[in-house]
Amino acid sequence: MLNRLFYSINRLRVLALLILLCCSYLVANAQYFDIEGNRKHVNIPFRMVRDMLVIRLTINDKGPYNFILDTGVGLMLITDPKLVDSINVLNKRIIKISSLGDGDDFEAYATSALNIGIPGLVSYDVASAILKKDHFGLSNYAGMPIHGLLGYEFFNNLAVKIDFADSTITVWRPKDIRLFRKGSKVPISIENRKPFIHANVTFTNGTRTNNKLVIDIGAGHPLSLENIIEKHGLPEKFIAANLGVGLTGPIEGFLSRVKEVDLGKYKLKNVITSFPENNGNTPLLQRDGNLGIGILKRFTLIFDYPDSVLYIKPCSNISEPFEHDMSGLEYYSTGDAYNRIIISRVEPGSAGDEVGLEKDDEIVSINFKAVKDMGLEEIDKLFKSQVDRSLLLEVYHEKKLDHVIITLKRRI
**Is 103 in the same domain as 159?**
yes
Is residue 323 one of the residues assigned to a domain?
Answer: no
| Contact between 126 and 113 (Cβ < 8 Å) | yes
**Is 161 in the same domain as 198?**
no
Is residue 412 one of the residues assigned to a domain?
Answer: no
Is residue 20 one of the residues assigned to a domain?
Answer: yes
Bond into 348 cis (ω within 30)? no
Say what the pLDDT of residue 370 is: 95
Q: 314, 347, 381 — which closes off a domain? A: 314
pTM of the predicted model over 0.85: yes
Is residue 51 one of the residues assigned to a domain?
Answer: yes
Pairing of strands 77-78, 148-150: antiparallel
DSSP of 286-310, one letter per residue?
---EEE-HHHHTTEEEEEETTTTEE
**Is 251 in the same domain as 372?**
no
| Long-range contacts at 399-402 (CB < 8 A, ≥ 24 apart) | 401/364
| Contact between 331 and 250 (Cβ < 8 Å) | no
Is residue 244 one of the residues assigned to a domain?
Answer: yes
Rounded to whole angstroms, how far apart are CA atoms 194 and 214? Answer: 7
**Is 42 in the same domain as 117?**
yes
Apex 399 CA angle, 397 and 401, nearest 5: 60
**Is 110 in the same domain as 159?**
yes
Bridge partners (DSSP) of residue 52 are 49
**Is 149 in the same domain as 196?**
no
Number of domains in the chain: 3
Range of the domain at 284: 180-314
Instruction: Give the CATH number of the domain where residue 352 resides.
Output: 2.30.42.10
**Is 263 in the same domain as 354?**
no
Is residue 322 one of the residues assigned to a domain?
Answer: no
Say what the pLDDT of residue 4 is: 44
Is residue 381 one of the residues assigned to a domain?
Answer: yes
Q: 259, 280, 314 — which closes off a domain? A: 314
CA 302 centroid distance within chain: 18
Say what the pLDDT of residue 295 is: 97
Rounded to whole angstroms, how far apart are CA atoms 3 and 85? Answer: 32
Say what the pLDDT of residue 373 is: 93
Is residue 282 one of the residues assigned to a domain?
Answer: yes
Instruction: Give the CATH number of the domain where residue 15 resides.
Output: 2.40.70.10
**Is 162 in the same domain as 23?**
yes
Pairing of strands 168-172, 41-45: antiparallel
| Contact between 9 and 138 (Cβ < 8 Å) | yes
**Is 79 in the same domain as 194?**
no
Rounded to whole angstroms, how far apart are CA atoms 319 and 331? Answer: 29
Say what the pLDDT of residue 248 is: 47
Q: 132, 156, 174 — which closes off a domain? A: 174
Spans in the chain with pLDDT lower than 70: 1-29, 97-105, 242-251, 279-285
DSSP of 108-161, one letter per residue?
EEEE--B-EE-TTEEEESB--EEESS--S-HHHHHTS---EEE-HHHHTTSEEE
- Per residue in 160-185, pLDDT (tens digit) is 999 999 999 999 999 999 998 888 99
**Is 149 in the same domain as 198?**
no
**Is 85 in the same domain as 210?**
no
**Is 194 in the same domain as 164?**
no
